Structure formats: C-alpha cells, structure tokens
Structure 1
Amino acid sequence: MTTTARSRRRSAAVLAAAGLSLATALPAQAGLNDPPVRPGEGITWGTGGAVKVKTMQTGGGSACSFIASPNSIGGVCVRANAFSGVTIEEILGGDPLPECWDERLSDEELKDINLVHGEGTAWYWHRCLRGIDPETFEIGPDGLHFEVGIWPFADGDPELTFLTPNQQAFVERFVHRGNVPAPVLVASPSPVPWVNDDVAFFNYGDDEVSVSLAAPGVEMRGRITEIMVYPEGPDGPAITCPGSGVQVDADDTPRSVPDACWHAYEQSSLALEDDHFEAEIYAKWQIDVRIGGTWQPFHEFSKGAPAMVQVNEVQALVRP
C-alpha cells in the first residue's frame, strides 16, 4: 500500500467502543442517539448513546458477556473447558482466536450510511474482539467488548485481514449480534400533511429485536417502549407517545385515539429550503436478558433518526 493510501485510511479510521452506532462514528449523524432535554417540558427520558457491557454467570460453569447499545444487542458466551460438548479449541482447529478482521461493506450498508466505494479503494468494517484471553479464553474483569470502525482500504491492501473458516465458525457460534433498527418517521393518515390538519406520527421501522446466544436458554430481547418526535425540528415542539405510535385512519381524531403522537402544522413547508421540515424521531428501547428461564431488565437507551416532512396548504381558487 502506498504512503498516500495508508495516510488516507488512518485519517479516516473511526474506532468506537462495543456497539457504538454509526450515528456516533459518522459526524453527519452525531447527536441522534441523545435526544435533547427540553427544560420545562418534562422530557428527560433516555440515556443517550450509552453502551452497557456486563459479564454474568449463566449456570453450568459458563459465563456470558452481554452487550447492548443503540447499534446492536448480543454477547459472547464462553467456557474454558467444554461448551455444549464442543470446546473453543476444537472449533478453532488450531487457528488463533480472532483479534481484528475486515469485512467489505455491502451495497445496502453503503446506501444506509451514504458512502460509496472509490476508484481503487473500498470501505470495510474493521472489527476487533477485546477482553478475552487468547490462551485460556477467560473473559477479563472489564468484560468482553468490541471495537468497530469503518476504514477505506486500497484494493488488494496486504494489511486487510479476513477470518479463516474456523474463526468464522467461532464468531457465528460464540459471538451473536442483533442490529437495532433506526426508527422511521411517517405521518398518518397521509404521509404529506395539510396545514392545520391533525396528523399522527408513528415509527414505520421494526420495533422488536431478539438474539439467542450460544449458551442454552440464554437470550436477549429489545422492544420500543416510547417514541419522541420533533415534527418541526429540534427547535420546535416535542411530542411523545407510548410504543411505536399509532397509524391512524382519516376518521380518527386526537379524542378518539389519545395515545397517538398528534401534531398540527400551522404553516406549510413551501417556503422552507428543499420544501420540507427537518423533523427528528427518537425511539426508547428496553433491553432484557433471559437466564435460567427468567427475564430481567438489562439496559435502556434511545436511538434517533432524521426525517423530511413535507406539508401542503390548501390553495383557494379565486374566480373573477
């Protein structure tokens, strides 16, 4: 790799702690995992982009290091000797425990985060596994965690590292991650509201996620418990409603569906740049873990996303 390519890659390297979302890693989306606190409006919920990593005993001599963040939930379950009849050594088949490896971003991932592969270079996930002893496979006192970055590499760069089939089998068996989807703001009953009409916002994206870990009976689940919407942008009013909101019909009203995220625009978006309000939506996630047949609360965080909302106005027809 040339000096120029290496400098470009290192200057663009963004390393984040386990599960930090791309909203943190990429400046263009900064802040969307930490909804603004509005003094006097009683809106103080959400712990922002906090990542929680905790190692817990799950019985039978095994331990799981659980990870939850606005980017993903999951964890690693290991046992120094046997694990479900198979040892880590047997799965690795003589290969070393993976430390850091690279994986080329898919077309869908590039689209999601507004990146494109360049001429002679491509964007790669650079993932590193931390907090586990490569010899004994014991998890350290600070718990197992991941470092994740998005790096541009020159095509054929000798520094690119890929998992061997055995290492891939280890990751698939012992390392499980569930992506936490970003909320998608949609207005109802029409996605393009009219001025002075009551509209109800809801999250069109998935509102549940679940992961089964390698240890028997050990699971993680997450669900949206509440959404917060800034229909006119962060400097405007804020509204909250339980769950993912409600998609209403044309006959519904704030009185008939009181739990919806209702809002009425007082002006159209015609005079705004690019004819839209720069709205924002935040989803509060509750994460639980299941150990020994019992679910218990594990973590809570919020995840946000921008949205463009066009608002029309009724044009009166004047006859001479």
Structure 2
Amino acid sequence: MHREMTVKNHRIPSIWYKQTSNLSAGRTLNPSMIVMHYTTGWNGEGSRDWLMGAAGGTSNKGSSAHVVIDRDGTAWQIAPFDRVAWHAGPSRYGDLQSLNDHAIGIEFVNSGPLSPDGNDQWIDPYGHRRSKDELDAAGGFIQASHPRVGGLVYAWPNYTKAQLDTGHAILKALTDQYPISAIVSHEEIDTRGWKTDPGPAFPMDSFRTLLGDRNPAPRVKSVTASRLNIRKGPGIDYARIDPPGALERNTTVKILSADDDWRLVEVSDGPLNGVRGWVHGAYLG
C-alpha cells in the first residue's frame, strides 16, 4: 500500500506539484464528486505535460485534471483541489450538470481500448501495433466488447497494482477531506455517448467503498416491457447498443445514474451480465 496521504491547503504535500495553465479563472471548486479517467496514452510524463498545457510546454488549451497517476505509482498534482479543471466535458449526474464545476478529476495512465488487427496484434489509439507479449509485459490486459467503441472485442490494458495503490491513497485523502458523495467514471457522466474511461479493466467498486455510508447501493430494477431498447446515450436520437439491441422482460439491471427520464443501467444477470447502456426509466419496475 502507498504511504498515507493527507490534504493541506487543497494540495497533497507528499506528491509532486506544479499548476496547469488550463483552469477556469476566478472559479472556486467545492468538490462533491470525483471522476475517474484514463489518459489514452502510455507515457506518464507526456500525459502530465499535455494536461498542464503551456505550463507543461505543450499546445493543449482544452483539457486538464487535478492528479495524474503513472503506471509505476508516481503521482503528480497539477491543480489545487479548490480550482475548476477541465476534465469532465459535457456531463451530467443526477441533477448536476457541467461536472467540472463539482468534481475532482483523476487521470490514470492507460491507453484505453486497442483494436484487433486480425493478425494477433492490437492497435492503440495512436495507430501503433502492440503484440500480446508487449501488452503482457506492460501488465496484461482483458478482452471485452464495448458498444461505445464499436462491434469488435478490444484489448483493455490492466491498471498496475502500484497505480491502484496510489489511487486508493489519494482518494482516501480526498474523501477524508471533502464531502464527496459520488465516485464515478467518465463514461457514466458523459452526455455525448462516446467516452469509455476508465474502462472495464478498472476496479471502480474498490474505490467506491471508500465512501462508506455515503455510497448508496445501486438500485436494482427489472425490465417491465416485452423488449426495451438499450441505447448509447440518454435519448432516442442515440443508436441502440447492438448486440443486444434490446433487453427482454424481467432482465435485472442496476441503475448507475439518471438523465431526466433516462437511466444508465448495467445488466446484472444472465448472458448479458455487465452490458451497460441507457434505457427509458418508465419501463423499469
């Protein structure tokens, strides 16, 4: 386990600190949530510098976060926890919108999904091919489909133990210091329908346990319609997730979040166990 951490003056004194240029001027953050992300990259220092914008010597003017955690467990804080950083984008969780104004953003160095090339290799988001041996040497991976990425089975690199230990220590410090009521994935809050981070290889539940009694158990419902369309976003304008396209009557789902009449759900039994998508809440009971 990583050394114990504490928050003082909205910083963690025991980790590296330098402030990103990409912050909302004059805006104070009173954090009530934490959003978990992956960096879509392999290079920790490169990801850190990109999210720091001009302060990191890069041209990025559109994104930032509060903390970046490398694969060896090194952590860099790049924004005070009382400043609004740019990590959530168009987003909603329950009645809250524009979650940059409510949430601390934590970035874990991870490439995200790699596509199969048909020749026993995997293609990362930058077009680089990685062999199974290379991915195994980097910590291994799982294979999983995801409707927001496409119709294939993708490789999702594992997060390292060192990363997760550091992440737990940081989130423990944050949940001790601030009235955090929710720890969520970027996918859960994204209203555009294409974000997938931190992905199926990330152990979200192990972080949510840090909330203790503040972490309500997911509501469990059953599908009441004969077939209920499951979509990539909260509305009929979003494409159906295919397969399965629709959920059969009596399918058991966990409600993860809401957007007006729509519910982000995860199937919790049967052959579709683990499938996530948006359904209309009127057909859950």
TM-score category, normalised to shorter length: under 0.3
- With normalisation by structure 1, the TM-score equals 0.20
More strand by share: 1
Which has the greater radius of gyration?
Answer: 1
- With normalisation by structure 2, the TM-score equals 0.22
